[in-house]
Amino acid sequence: MPRPVIRRLIDAVPTAVLPMVAGVGLSALVAPQPDAAMALLRGLVVTLLLTLPSLAVGTALGTLAGSWAALAPRSAGGLVGRLLAGAGPLLPGFLLAAVAALAVRAGASAAPLGWTALSIPAACQAARLARPAMGRALGPGPEGGAVRMARGLGLDERTVLRHHALPQAVAPVMGGLRAAVLAAMVGAVALESLLDLPGAGALMVDAARAGSAAGAVPVLVALGGLTALLNALGLGVRDWIDPANHSSTPYEGA
């Protein structure tokens, strides 16, 4: 695992791991069922497996599509990017989860549908943030200074896009990861409950339906920890892809 990610994870121990441990411990103490703690642990793993891949894939694809939409609005990729950026708020995760549930009732397979349902909102959010940032990086305003300079220094267009324009589009996406994580958590809870997956969200909803505060509150605490963990992972990835942290190239002698 890259070092910045590990550093962020260590930083996040008090906000991420402690709530999860507290949630599991609390449910072992107060929950009505005897195996509640084990179920919660399993549920947290399921929720993590549900949210993490879809967030990663959705954000990456959405960023690329959004940047592409600013670069070549009329191409196929650009159209997808514009569509994602425009449709953002139309497609909240929980509504897509309901669509997925409907499709599963009609006979589709649950897992790929679930991941898709969770990755689309992340992609929309990323595209919505990346598209205007990329537009500014390529435009005539002051933010376009780096691209103009790179072209003026005679670099080829590929390098200009890769090193001078794209980082400016990625930066706001990384800044908006927190909102994407929150949306993914909400979507995951809805998905687990509607598709009857054994995730932590489903546990919480079942306990709340039963009116059992002792069953629901520990899960909520643990889910808060999981959110912090995902946020820390996001920050770690941000540090990892940040070009400023790639200065370890040897150039002594200069």
Which helix (H) or strand (E) segment is 2 a member of? Answer: none
Amino acid identity of residue 112, one-letter, is P
| Minimum distance, C-beta of residue 188 to another protein, in the bound complex (Å) | 10
Q: Calculate the alpha carbon distances from 140 to 51, 85, 136, 166 in Å.
A: 38, 22, 7, 16
Q: Is residue 173 within the footprint of another protein (CB under 8 A)?
A: no
Rounded CA-CA distance 226/19 in Å is 8
Please give the C-alpha separations between residue 190 and each of 29, 57, 184, in angstroms, as whole numbers.
27, 20, 10
Site residue total, another protein (CB under 8 A): 71
- Assess 251 for contact with another protein (CB under 8 A): yes
Residue 152 interacting with another protein (CB under 8 A): yes
For 195, the token pair is 């598709």
Q: According to the binding rule CB under 8 A, does residue 247 interact with another protein?
A: yes
Residue 167 touching another protein (CB under 8 A): yes
Q: Report 89-108 residues binding another protein (CB under 8 A).
A: 89-92, 94-95, 97-99, 101-102, 105-106
Please list every residue from 71 through 90 that binds another protein, using CB under 8 A.
88-90
Choices 39-47, 57-65, 75-83, 223-231; region in contact with another protein by CB under 8 A:
223-231
Residue 211 binds another protein (CB under 8 A): yes
Q: Tell me which residues in 21-60 interact with another protein (CB under 8 A).
A: none
Measured CA to CA, the distance from residue 252 to residue 254 in angstroms comes to 5
